[in-house]
């Protein structure tokens, strides 16, 4: 049965960016259709969601490591439920690494026990802004943005 689910899974190469949608508003329909396709099959628990989203956008753990600076080993441990107690920053780095739209990023954070939308300190406001508006930017840009605003980077340059 699990094998059947994997073969039927829709692959999404990437989500339309905010810039693309602003310049070509008709692209919103493509974006929305992808959200609907993925949301209709999204598993309930955190680790399965992470794996499902990564595989649906066609990323290997190694590719996600490169884009998030979270090690492929840590990603594997999270997906296989071998790692508990991951940080808010780790989840955000994974979301940024996958260029996940805010709809999925905020859901992942909530089911992991982090509700940054209702905690109005400066860091959480910056993180909400990032997840809503800069989710398609490289992790180095995100870290620079945080540092320019007096906050610590989400990840350091080396692989975690």
21 has pLDDT over 50: yes
6 has pLDDT over 50: no
SS3 content of the chain, % helix, strand, coil (to 5): 60, 0, 40
pLDDT in tens, 100-141: 999 999 999 999 999 998 888 999 999 999 999 999 999 999
Residues 6+ positions from 92 with CB-CB distance below 8 Å: 105, 109, 127, 130, 131, 154
Query: Are 150 and 89 a contacting pair, CB within 8 Å?
Result: no
- The model's pTM: 0.87
List the domain boundaries for the chain.
12-148
């Amino acid at each position: 049965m699990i094998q059947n689910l994997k073969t039927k899974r829709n692959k999404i190469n990437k989500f339309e960016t905010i810039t693309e949608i602003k310049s070509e508003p008709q692209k919103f329909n493509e974006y929305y259709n992808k959200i609907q396709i993925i949301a209709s099959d999204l598993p309930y628990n955190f680790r399965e969601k992470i794996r499902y989203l990564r595989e649906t956008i066609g990323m290997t753990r190694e590719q996600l490591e490169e884009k998030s600076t979270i090690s492929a080993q840590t990603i594997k441990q999270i997906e296989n439920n071998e790692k508990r107690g991951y940080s808010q920053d780790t989840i955000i780095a994974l979301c940024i690494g996958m260029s996940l739209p805010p709809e999925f990023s905020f859901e992942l954070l909530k089911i992991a026990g982090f509700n940054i939308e209702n905690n109005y300190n400066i860091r959480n406001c910056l993180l909400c802004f990032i997840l809503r508006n800069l989710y398609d930017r490289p992790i180095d840009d995100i870290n620079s943005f945080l540092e320019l605003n007096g906050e610590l980077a989400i990840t350091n340059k080396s692989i975690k």
